[in-house]
């Protein structure tokens, strides 16, 4: 794994995809350290004296040679709201790359399942799997069409499938209702990121289909480097810190999954 660094980036652009979802593009000094799909960063919230702690965010895209790092973010509280308001040129301190990564298979069909901001690490994962020789399919679920933000880059990297609870895009229902998980299931692995109940349901399906399921957990974090223990998850080998030993876990190793 590359060593983590603390670097100051300049905001190059904040693109608002919907009233509560945005992509933040940052410009740093190239070349950036190598970043793997599933890793995350601890991002400072600048100019917000009442938000002390950095916020953990999955790395959505990284371009080492051009020095660019991007995050896909949902506004849920003070920290993410302030990030959504950043203007081009403002400085942001970022500690990265943190955590482990999804396993990169070099053959076979791999199903990536994302719910909500769980889509954040999936573009890079799909691109990496495709580059390694695997065949990624990306299944994205949301409440309605306004939650689904799929650009051409997703279609270039993977077959893209969509479910929405109100049926306004893709197949009506939850991701776990999609036929791809039921009939003719021919995937060798499931990789998922999103709400815990969704990922737990996928872990059950993976068990039934006799394939491995890797889940990226988003437990609430404080220190981000294994000191405060506030992010621990119960595994078959005892408690583990999601920030240092995750965020990606084989769901067979998670207690009660
Ligand atoms: C490894 C990791 C990767 C993540 N990647 C992304 C990402 O790519 N994009 C993204 O939008 N978010 C991501 N998150 C969640 C993100 O860190 C939180 O939404 C953010 O820290 C909230 O900060 P805030 O100041 O806006 O909200 P706060 O004021 O701190 O909290 C507002 C509300 O959000 C809830 N909340 C806080 N942290 C989390 C969390 N970790 N998970 C779920 N709910 C939370 C709180 O319980 C509260 O209800 C990730 C979290 C982890 C641990
Ligand atoms: S966030 Fe402190 S130990 Fe993981």
Half-sphere exposure of 111 (CA within 13 A, CB side): 27
Span 9-23, pLDDT tens digits: 999 999 999 999 999
Atom number, ligand 2, closest to the C-alpha of residue 221: 1
Does 169 sit in the ligand 2 pocket, CB within 6 Å? no
Atom number, ligand 1, closest to the C-alpha of residue 221: 53
In sequence order, the 6+-apart residues with CB closer than 8 A to the CB of 151 are none
Domain boundaries, the chain: 5-98, 109-253
Range 125-129 average pLDDT: 98
Single out the residue of 191, 250, 174, 248 nearest to residue 217, CA to CA.
248
In sequence order, the 6+-apart residues with CB closer than 8 A to the CB of 26 are 9, 10, 11, 12, 68, 69, 70, 71, 92, 94
Does 252 sit in the ligand 1 pocket, CB within 6 Å? no
Q: Whose CA is nearest to atom 39 of ligand 1?
A: 220
Give, for ligand 2, the residue of 224, 239, 246 to mutate: max count of ligand atoms closer than 8 Å to Cβ. Answer: 224
Phi, psi of 35 (to 5 degrees): -125, 140
Span 146-190, pLDDT tens digits: 999 999 999 999 999 999 999 999 999 999 999 999 988 999 999
Percent of the chain clearing pLDDT 70 (strictly above): 99
Structure tokens at 83: 């990030």
pLDDT of res. 61:
96
Distance in Å, CA 244 to ligand 2 centroid: 8
Distance in Å, CA 35 to ligand 1 centroid: 21
Distance in Å, CA 109 to ligand 1 centroid: 31
Q: How far is CA 17 from CA 50, 73, 193, 237, in A?
A: 26, 10, 20, 40
Provide the pLDDT confidence category of residue 3 given band limits of 50, 70 and 90.
confident
Does 222 sit in the ligand 2 pocket, CB within 6 Å? yes
pLDDT of res. 1:
63
Distance in Å, CA 80 to ligand 1 centroid: 8
Q: Give the torsion sign (CA, 235, 239, 245, 248).
A: positive
CATH superfamily of 5-98: Translation factors (2.40.30.10)
CATH number of 109-253: 3.40.50.80
Range 127-132 average pLDDT: 97
Provide the pLDDT confidence category of residue 49 given band limits of 50, 70 and 90.
confident
Coil vs helix vs strand at 181: helix
Does 241 sit in the ligand 2 pocket, CB within 6 Å? yes
Q: Mean pLDDT of all residues in the chain?
A: 96
For tokens 């965020």, what's the residue? 247
Structure tokens at 175: 């991701």
Distance in Å, CA 150 to ligand 2 centroid: 32
pLDDT of res. 52:
87
Give, for ligand 1, the residue of 57, 72, 215, 226 to mutate: max count of ligand atoms closer than 8 Å to Cβ. Answer: 57
Span 182-232, pLDDT tens digits: 988 999 999 999 999 999 999 999 999 999 999 999 999 999 989 999 999
In sequence order, the 6+-apart residues with CB closer than 8 A to the CB of 94 are 6, 7, 8, 9, 26, 28, 41, 42, 43, 44, 69
Distance in Å, CA 173 to ligand 2 centroid: 35
């Amino acid at each position: 794994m590359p060593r983590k660094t603390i670097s100051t980036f300049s905001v190059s652009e904040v693109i608002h995809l919907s009233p509560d979802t945005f992509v933040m593009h940052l410009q740093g000094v190239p070349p950036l350290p190598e970043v793997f799909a599933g890793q995350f960063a601890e991002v400072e919230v600048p100019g917000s004296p009442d938000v002390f702690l950095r916020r953990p965010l999955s790395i959505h895209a990284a371009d080492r040679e051009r020095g660019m790092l991007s995050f896909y973010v949902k506004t849920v509280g003070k920290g993410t709201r302030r990030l959504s308001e950043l203007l081009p040129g403002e400085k942001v301190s970022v500690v990265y790359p943190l955590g482990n990564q999804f396993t990169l298979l070099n053959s076979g069909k791999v199903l990536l399942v994302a719910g909500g901001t769980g889509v954040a690490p999936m573009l890079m994962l799909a691109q990496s799997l495709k580059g390694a020789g695997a065949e990624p399919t990306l299944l994205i679920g949301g409440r309605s069409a306004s939650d689904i933000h799929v650009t051409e880059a997703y279609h270039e990297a993977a077959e893209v499938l969509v479910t929405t609870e109100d049926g306004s895009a893709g197949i009506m229902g939850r991701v776990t209702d999609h036929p791809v998980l039921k009939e003719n299931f021919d995937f060798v692995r499931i990789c998922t990121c999103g709400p815990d109940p969704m990922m737990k349901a996928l872990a059950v399906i993976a068990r039934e289909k006799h394939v491995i399921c890797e889940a990226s957990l988003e437990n609430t974090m404080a220190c981000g480097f294994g000191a405060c223990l506030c992010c621990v998850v119960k595994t078959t080998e005892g408690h583990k810190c999601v920030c240092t030993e995750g965020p990606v876990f084989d769901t067979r190793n998670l207690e009660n999954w």
